[in-house]
Structures are given as C-alpha cells and as structure tokens.
Amino acid sequence: MKSIIFIAPPSAGKGTQSLMVSEKYHMPHISTGDLLRAASKEKSERGTYIKNQMETGGLVSDEITLELLKERLKKDDCNNGYILDGFPRNVFQAKAYEDLLKSLKKDFGVVIILDLDKQTALDRVIGRLTCGNCGAVYNEKFEESRPKKSGICDKCGNALSKRADDNAETFEKRYDTYVVSTEPLIQYYEEKGNVYHINSGDPKEIVFSNIEKVLGGK
C-alpha cells in the first residue's frame, strides 16, 4: 500500500485516524508532532530550540523538521508505505518533501484532508487527553470520546495527561497558521490530484469507514 498524507486543522482527528489506519493496515504512523516532542527532550541545542517553539505555539524550522523526518523514513518499517501526520504544512514543505522522497526513492501516495469547523476544533483541543504509553487519544468534552475511567487509558491503564500546548491561545495561533499556510497547500495538492476530502466532524468510526473507502478496503 502507498503512503498516506493526512492534512487537517488543529484537533481534527489526524492522530486518532492515523492510529486506526496503522492498526488496520499495519503501516507505521509517523507524526511529526511526536517526532518533535521526542526531539524536544534531547539535551542539545536542537532539543532546546524545539521545546521553546512548541511551548509558545511557534513552528519549528523546516530544516529541522525535514531532518527528523528523513531519519524516520530511512527505517526499514517505512519500506512498504507509512502514514504521515502533520507534515507538510505549506507548499514549500510539500516541494521539499517531494525532493526528499526522490532522494529516498519512495512513492508519493495519496492525500486525505479531514475537514472540521473551527468551534468544534477548539472544543476538541481544550478537552483532549492523551496516553503517554500507547498514544491513545480521548476527550473529556465529548461523551463518545471520554475514557471509561476518568484520567485512565482504556487500552493500557496508563494515566492520561493534557499537553501543555492544548489551550485556547495556542489553538488560535495554530488555526491562523493553518488558514494562511495550509489552505494554499490543499489547493496545490488538488491541482496535482490524489486528494480526498472527509468530514471529520462525524464520529470517529464513520470517519474511519470513509477513509477505508478511499483506500479501497485493502
């Protein structure tokens, strides 16, 4: 199966759907957000820079993001396709990513866009809880997404936590960046083809079913 790029506004469910696709199709889920969070813990100049940018809602430089992504794509588990979540975010990154794929001799794949209105996205950010052990995502503001036991992961029993950057102020910055930078990216990909729009305001099971239709049920 070819690689998949997910594009969506903040908290539209990229992480949740990526994990569901990964489990069903046995493809590695590569979240640039996860790569950056892991790198931010490095005791290095790069780690300190990434940590500061993430805590203030700023964007990490394309050079560093591409560096981390290249390191990940060179691993053997990416040889038969992968799910790319959170990158590219703009046309410049898209072109740089295409150059990266050529250098690694990898195919492009398809682009899936998860559409979501701003207010719903904000509610999802404020209520989001994540499991640091298995990566599962929950939301205390939506009944269908709440963990069965408050603060505890249903899958592995690990304590859930809220990201430091999951707040309204940081959301506004990210949403504005999405509108300015990512919407032109969508147009860029639509002109190239292989783009599919899915309403991510539906329950996650319906969203996943629609993704499966795009993938052909393989």
Which is the catalytic residue, given 174, 192, 204, 218?
A: 174
72 is catalytic: no
Q: Count of residues for the chain?
A: 218
Q: Select which of 51, 70, 74, 89 is catalytic.
A: 89
For the question of residue 163 being annotated catalytic, the response is yes
Q: How far lies 54's CA from each of 15, 60, 63, 104, 184, in Å?
A: 17, 8, 16, 28, 23
Instruction: Please say if 146 is a catalytic residue.
Output: no
Q: Give catalytic status of residue 95 as yes or no.
A: no
Distance separating alpha carbons of residues 16 and 118, to the nearest angstrom: 18
Choice among 14, 41, 155, 204 that is catalytic = 14
String of DSSP letters for 57-105? TPPPPHHHHHHHHHHHHTSGGGTT--EEES---SHHHHHHHHHHHHHHT
Catalytic residue among 46, 51, 72, 163: 163
Q: 24, 43, 72, 128: which one is catalytic? A: 128
**Nearest CA among 23, 27, 24 for reference residue 4:** 27
Residue 14 annotated in active site: yes
Residues forming the active site: 14, 89, 128, 163, 174
